Structure 1
Amino acid sequence: MKPLVCLATALLAGCAALGSPRTGLPYDAWRLGFLAPSYMEVWLETADVEDVQGRIFHGAMSGTVAINYSGDPTGWPQPVGWGKGRNITGGALPQRIYVRWQSLAEPQTYRAVLHIPASARQRMREKAPSMRPPIKYEYQEALAIGLAPGGWIRAWVMSPSSTPVEILCQKAEIEPKGPDEGRNQGQYAYAFDQLEPAAQRYITSHPIPYESWKCPAATASVQ
C-alpha cells in the first residue's frame, strides 16, 4: 500500500506505519477513543481529526462508543477508561477534532470543535508510571473523549495503565440540522424502544443527571 493511501485512510488494519520521522512521534500510532456515561447511549456520527501538520483524517471514528449498563451514571467513572476507538496510524498528534454525535437518551444531536491544548500533546510524547505495581513507564499515547447528555464533553490523556489526566472540558452546541445533518428526516440512529433494555429502564425511572457532567467553569458553546 502506498504511503499516501495509508495516510488518507489512516485507520486500515495492516497499513504500515509511516514512522516517527514523518509524524514526530516516539511511537507508530496514537489512539482515539470515545465513551459515554452509564446507560446514556451515544451514536457518534463522525470524529474528524486535524493533526498539527494540517492533515485531515475524515471519519477517524464513528458508530457506537464504550458504555456500561450498570452502576450510577452520575459524573465520570474514576479512573475513566480509554473508550472504544482506533489507532490513528500515519498522523501526527491532534490539533483539532471535529465531533458530531447523537445523544440517544434525550434524544439530541450535538456538534463541537475540540481544540487540543499544546500541553496535552506534550503529555502524549511523555511516559507515565502505571497506577499499580509492578510500576512500569509507558507513553501516554491515548486520547479518550467522553460525550454526555446536554452536550458536555471531557477528554483525558493516558497510557494503557497510567492514571488518566483530564485535558479538556467544554460544552457542545446543538446541531441545527438534526441527526445526520438533516439527511434522515429527523430520525435518530436508534429509537427509544431499540436502546438496550437496561438503558430504557434507567431513563424511564430516573431523571438524566445533566448537572453531574458540567465543567467546573463551563465554556461557551463551540462553533
Structure 2
Amino acid sequence: MINLIRTALMVFLLVGCTSAKTQSMPYKSWHLGFSAPAYMEVWIETADVIDIQGQVYRRAMSGVAALLTPPNNSGDPRGWPKRAGMGGGKYVTGADLPKKIYVRWQSLVEPQTYKMVIDIPEWTREVMRKEERVFCAFDGKVITDYREAISIRLVPGGIAKVWVTGPCLNPIEVTMVKAEIDPRGPYEGKSGGKHRPLSALSKAYVEKFGVPYESWE
C-alpha cells in the first residue's frame, strides 16, 4: 500500500512538472483587454479564449469596455488611437498564449450585436515571449518588460483592431477584423431583442453628432 502511494505521488509530481514546462510564456498569465471610442459604449457578452494547448477558457472577459464619456460632448470618438492602451479587462490565469479569441458583443449606440473570431498569429506569440529593456515612467527606471497583453478596440459597424502591448512598451498592431452581425440578437436571442441601455452622456453625443463610421474605415 505504501509503495502504491509513493508511486501515485511520483506520477503526480511528474505530471505537474510536465504541465509547468509545457506553458510557453515566461510569466504566469497574460492580459486580455477591451476598449471603445469615446461615447461608443460596448457591452461584451463573452470573450472566449483558445490557447495554443487547445484549452478553452470561456468568458475569459465580459462586461464593459474601457472608454471615456466626458461631459458637454467634449470627447472625440473619431479614428483609431495613436497609442493603444491595454484596455479594461482581466488576466487569463492558467492559460497558455492565445491562438484564437471569440468575442460576442453589443454595440449600444447602434444598437447591434456582433460576433467574430480573432486568429492570433505565431509572430504575435513570439513577441509576447520576448523580454525587452525599457525605461518605464511608472517606475522611473529601466526595467525588463514583456508585451503580455492583447488589446482589442471595438467600434460601431462591427470593426475590431487588435494590438499586442505591455505596461511600458509601445503597442504593435496585430490585425483588424470585420465582425458579422449575430442574427440571434443580444444575449443569443434570450432578451427579446433588447440591448443594454445607453448612458445619458453617450446618448446626448450620438443624438447631436451621430456615429462617425467613416473614421474607422
- Normalization by structure 1: what TM-score? 0.82
User: Within 5 Å, which residues of 2 pair with 1:112-191?
Assistant: 112-128=116-132, 129-130=134-135, 134-190=141-197
Q: Which amino acid aligns with 2:25?
A: L
Maintained 8 Å contact 1:32/1:142: yes
CA distance in 2, matches of 1:20, 1:79: 34
1:89 to 86, 89, 93: 93
- Given that 1:23 and 1:90 are in contact with CA atoms closer than 8 Å, whether structure 2 keeps it comes out as no
Aligned residue pairs: how many?
A: 193
Alpha-carbon separation, structure 2, partners of 1:131 and 1:165: 17
Q: 1:81 to 1:19 in 2, by over 3 A?
A: farther
Q: How far did residue 173 of structure 1 move?
A: 0.4
Q: Taking structure 1 as reference, are residues 176 and 211 closer, same or farther at Cα in structure 2, changes over 3 Å only?
A: same
Q: Structure 2 length as normaliser, TM-score?
A: 0.84
* Higher radius of gyration, 1 or 2: 2
Paired residues of 2:85 and 2:165 also in contact (CA < 8 A): no
* Structure 1 residues without counterparts, runs of 5 or longer: 1-17, 215-223
Correspondence for 1:217: none
What is the Cα deviation at residue 168 of structure 1?
1.1
Q: Secondary structure at the match of 1:150?
A: coil
Matched residue type, 2:54: G
Q: Which stretch of structure 1 is more off in the superposition, 146-155 or 132-141?
A: 132-141
Is 1:78 matched with 2:85? no
Q: CA RMSD in A?
A: 1.7
CA distance in 2, matches of 1:146, 1:166: 11
More helix by share: 2
In the TM superposition, what whole-angstrom CA distance separates every residue of 1:12-41 from its partner, at most 9, and x where no partner exists?
Answer: xxxxxx985231110011110111111000
The answer to whether residue 208 in structure 2 is matched with residue 205 in structure 1 is yes
Residue ranges of structure 2 left out of the alignment (5+ in a row): 1-17
The Cα offsets for residues 126-168 of structure 1, whole Å up to 9 and x where unpaired, read as 1243576744330110111111000010111111011111101
Structure 2 residue matching 1:136: 3-state secondary structure: strand
Matched residue of 1:59: which SS? strand
Q: For residues 39 and 62 of structure 2, what CA distance do their matches in structure 1 show? A: 19
CA distance in 2, matches of 1:130, 1:176: 47
